[in-house]
Amino acid sequence: MVLDIRFVRSGPEGPKDGPLPMSGAMPAGTRGEPEATSWSTLLDQAALASQPSQFAELVQRLRSTVPNDEGIETLWSMVSQPDSRRRWLGVLALGYHRGWLSSRSRVRSMATMASREGDARVRRAMVWCLRQQDEVAAFLADAEASVAREAALGLALNRRSLPAVMQALLLDSSPRPAVEAVLLQRLGELHASCVQALVRHLLRVEGPLCPVRLAAVLAHLPQVPVFQMLVEQRHLPGWSPQDDEDGQLARRWQELVSAAQRVLAEQPRLELVRYLLTRSSETDAFARRHGRFLRGAMQRTEAATGSALIAHLSRLAERASEEGVARLAEPLVELSARLDGESANQARSLLEAWKRRSPRLRLCIYQIENKLASD
């Protein structure tokens, strides 16, 4: 919770009347000193400002003045007048002072106004005003690219908005690069639990999926939950082959699995490599099943992340069994061969430390080094 101290009064003994300490007169509808016309006056002055400094000063006043209920009403009535010159600024002011968002009916009204708004500039401002609300998702399909992009920026990424996001990224027949770029970038923010919902949604989507677009989506999702679901096949979505009469779900599932395997193998991020190493150190079955994948991922890992991986390997080895360390030795030997400078020294030091843990481990690491050298 954030305490709004912008207009903290000086206390019970402080001034109860007169303007609050800000430049110029107190605008209307502000906390404590409602004045029916000041909001509209300020917006009028800002809308007609011819000097940048004058405009910016007025905006600063509009930003620093918190409207009370009456002020919100004044702004709302301005925004509702279709011919008002002040609408754009009024909408932006409502987008900045967001107390009214606690009223669902207000939110719905704003969404309805935005959907009917003819002026794209005002519509875009309305979408900005509604940012992080579920209603924004509908504007991803807006005919005006700038409005759709604003919706992509302000979208609340959750299970409810996923269908609209997938529609925009995978199913729209007319590509909109500016919107797609924002959505792809934001997919990385998706909570791990939503990845399952996304896969479930993709399983049910009708019609073919473009392989390039699908790969782009998978490449931008958090990699660990994608790996867990589509490669490791944990946390499977709730469907069984018995329910799949025509095999359509099974085909789509295979399509997703092969795309995910390809994308993750080609562009493994640090988070995924860390996960693979952790799980390999913990269980032999995982190391055997995904050993090839881990080797490929280690080979593609950027040298810049070498130090971070060595630190991670060092931490894992501290709590791992001897067998676990032996399973980590191969990735470390491989990594040390690709590094140079300080990182290479760190890797070699860690290997020497592991060799000192037991004769069996020393022999194991020698064998791995010889094997990789002969390859």
Partner 1 sequence: MDDADSLVPQVSQFLRRTEQHLTLEQKLLRLHVENPFLDEDAVSLAVRTGAAAEQVAQALAALCQQGLLQQAGGRGYMLVPSGLDLLAAQVPGSRLQAATSESLAAAEDDPDSSAWPAPAGGAEAADSWSAQVRQRMAAAIRAIRSAMRGPTPDGILAARAALSEVDRLLRAGPGDGSDAAGPARPTSN
Instruction: List contacts with partner 1 (CB under 8 A).
Output: 6, 47-57, 59-60, 62-63, 85, 92-93, 95-96, 118-121, 124-125, 128, 143-146, 153, 175, 177-178, 180-182, 184-186, 212-213, 215-216, 219, 263, 266-267
- Distance between CA 181 and CA 150 in Å, rounded? 12
Smallest distance, Å, CB 309 to partner 1?
Answer: 22
DSSP for 214-225 reads: HHHHHHHS-HHH
Q: Which is nearer to partner 1, 59 or 303 (CB)?
A: 59
What is the smallest separation between the CB atom of 355 and partner 1, expressed in angstroms? Answer: 39
Identify residue 55 by its one-letter amino acid code. Answer: F
Q: Which residue, 143 or 285, is less far from partner 1 as judged by CB?
A: 143
Provide the minimum distance between the beta carbon of 329 and partner 1 in the complex, in angstroms, as a whole number: 32
Spatial CA neighbour of 137 closest among 176, 102, 179 = 179
Reduce the DSSP state of residue 67 to 3 states and report it.
Answer: strand
DSSP for 158-181? STTTHHHHHIIIII-SS--HHHHH
23 or 374: CB nearest partner 1: 23
Rg (CA), the chain: 29
Gap between the Cα atoms of 147 and 127, Å rounded: 7
Question: For residues 174 and 242, which CB has a smaller minimum distance to partner 1 in the complex?
Answer: 174
Closer to partner 1 by Cβ: residue 57 or 73: 57
Q: Are 29 and 71 in contact, with CB atoms under 8 Å apart? A: yes
Q: What is the closest distance, in whole angstroms, from the C-beta atom of residue 219 to partner 1 in the complex?
A: 5
**Residue 323 Cβ vs partner 1, minimum distance, rounded to whole Å:** 37
Q: How far apart are CA 244 and CA 302, in angstroms?
A: 41
